[in-house]
Amino acid sequence: MKTYHDIATDGGSDVAGQVADQMARLSSRLARVGHVVAIMSGKGGVGKSTLTAALAEAFALMSHSVGIVDADINGPSVALMTGVRHHVPHPVPGGMSPATSASGVKVMSMDLFLQHDSSAVLWEAPSQRHAYTWRPMVEMGVLRELIADTAWGALDVLFIDLPPGSDRLPNLADLVEDRAAAVVVTGPTAVSHGVVARSITAAADVAGLPVVGLVENMSSYVCTACGHEEYYDRSGSGAAELAAAHDIPFLGRIPFDSRLALAADRGEPFLAHAGDAPVGRAIMALAARMKDYLQL
């Protein structure tokens, strides 16, 4: 496969030089970031973005400096979930200004550049129907810019909220080199486990990223009135067996709580106000396990 350096002529745009300059900025920016953690899942709808926002809040509550990059270019949601949808990025010394949530989490998302909630992400092209051949390359260029051109400052952890699927992971691994690790999220169903199994393989074998472990999200429902917890899988063994089959740690189960979903819809911190709820305790326990892994 040809690279930018193999292009015979680029019409004077110096594509290879632009990419090299951007990668140099990326390396410089990441020099002040302790750890990069990709939150990923092959399955959509498992609550990955909600969990990313909650984990970032948990690390902030533990007095760590935290950032989030919303890597879902076409379906960004982290800005809304963290309550920073109103922020307009602007130039500051060292790059573009990230938004800062009420919990102190720095956020950069494509959503911050869209004028309206209903605005679609469209790239300039003679025909959008025929843009599919180069759209993935453009999207990776945008992700590179979101990381490299944001004035993060010093961070203990930079979370990358990846879109569903595993095709973006090898490209992300190339961007951040040996700085990243992956947390894989699954739902409680056998369908989710089957899809996520391929994500674990992609992370470890294709992208070469160390896998912190597997999290089962929405594994149970907790009644907010009586506190009774009802599990989808009463045996509780499905996700643990999946983790064991791939020789990665099982990090735990996160119950579903409508209050967490409502807080995400409103862009409000959840753990600071309901950290003693079962879902709050589970998220804080997960953050503590990740903190031990990262040696923070």
Alpha-carbon distances of 162 from 77, 95, 170, 227, rounded to whole Å: 11, 22, 12, 33
For residue 2, is it within any domain?
A: no
What is the three-class DSSP state of 97? Answer: coil
39 CB-side CA count, 13 A = 32
The string of DSSP letters for 155-216 reads EEEEEEEPPSSSTTHHHHHHHHGGGEEEEEEE-SSHHHHHHHHHHHHIIIIIS-PPEEEEEE
Q: What is the pLDDT of residue 179?
A: 77
Structural domain range at position 147:
13-294
- For 186, residues 6+ apart whose C-beta sits below 8 A from its C-beta are 41, 43, 46, 192, 193, 196, 214, 215, 216, 217, 239, 242
The Cα 24–Cα 48 span in angstroms is 30
For residue 186, is it within any domain?
A: yes
Q: What is the pLDDT of residues 124-158, one digit of tens each?
A: 555 556 555 556 667 777 888 899 899 999 999 99
For residue 96, is it within any domain?
A: yes
Total count of domains within the chain: 1
Q: What is the pLDDT of residue 57?
A: 97
- Looking at residues 168-179, what average pLDDT do you find? 75
Can you give the CATH number for the domain in which 67 is found? 3.40.50.300
Alpha-carbon distances of 224 from 43, 50, 107, 186, rounded to whole Å: 27, 19, 30, 23
For residue 123, is it within any domain?
A: yes
For residue 66, is it within any domain?
A: yes
Share of the chain above pLDDT 70, in %: 83
For residue 120, is it within any domain?
A: yes
The phi and psi torsions of 222 (rounded to 5 degrees) equal -105, 125
Q: What is the pLDDT of residues 199-222, one digit of tens each?
A: 898 888 877 889 999 999 999 887
For residue 4, is it within any domain?
A: no
Beta bridge partners of 181: 37
Between vectors from CA 90 to CA 84 and to CA 93, what angle results, nearest 5°?
Answer: 120
For residue 1, is it within any domain?
A: no
The phi and psi torsions of 140 (rounded to 5 degrees) equal -70, -35
Residue 2 has pLDDT above 50, yes or no: no
Please state the pTM of the whole predicted model.
0.87
